[in-house]
Amino acid sequence: MEADASVDMFSKVLENQLLQTTKLVEEHLDSEIQKLDQMDEDELEHIKEKRLEALRKAQQQKQEWLSKGHGEYREIPSERDFFQEVKESKKVVCHFYRDSTFRCKILDRFLAILSEKHLETKFLKLNVEKAPFLCERLHIKVIPTLALVKDGKAQDYVVGFTDLGNTDDFTTETLEWGLSCSDILNYR
């Protein structure tokens, strides 16, 4: 009997809290609707112009990225090219690979997909046999390694497949999420 009474009391308290919360949300929504109803043509035009300007800027940024080689996954021939590519882009993912390594081919497939999806980041690959100085300087000892470069500096690395579940059959989303944790991609 006592248990039923406390359950009833708990239910009533919960119901009251839910009603109060609903009323607050409804009042907030009503005030927003009222603001929109009271806007005149000039205010609406101003909002529209701000949105159009934001869209223009986004399109300009996209064109700038595409002109700098974003949107594709490509190989660079030498260490010198690496430094030039990194200088001209804010965010770069560089895959240090070797042709004979099977796991590098797996990463290539995923990086090609991500390069088309994430225009904000440049995706490159560099053969370690053509870049001994750079591998030494960046302390690259395991193949494959992804160097995550931001503002011209190596910020983080994905070494082997350890961070990707330590398996060959990870998903594109797993790699995408991992790269976004280092703020190299905008994960959506």
Residue 32, pLDDT score: 86
Mean of the pLDDT values across residues 109-121? 96
Beta-carbon count within 10 A of 55 CB = 10
* End-to-end Cα separation, the chain, in angstroms: 52
72-182 under CATH 3.40.50.720, yes or no: no
Longest dimension (CA), the chain: 82
135 contact partners, CB below 8 Å, separation of at least 6:
96, 128, 141
Q: What is the mean pLDDT of the chain?
A: 91
Provide mean pLDDT across the span 79-95: 95
Q: What average pLDDT does range 95-106 have in this prediction?
A: 95
pLDDT at res. 1: 61
Strand order in 145-150's β-sheet? Answer: 73-75, 122-127, 91-97, 145-150, 153-159
Q: Give this prediction's pTM.
A: 0.74
Please report which confidence band the pLDDT of residue 10 belongs to, taking 50, 70 and 90 as the band edges: confident
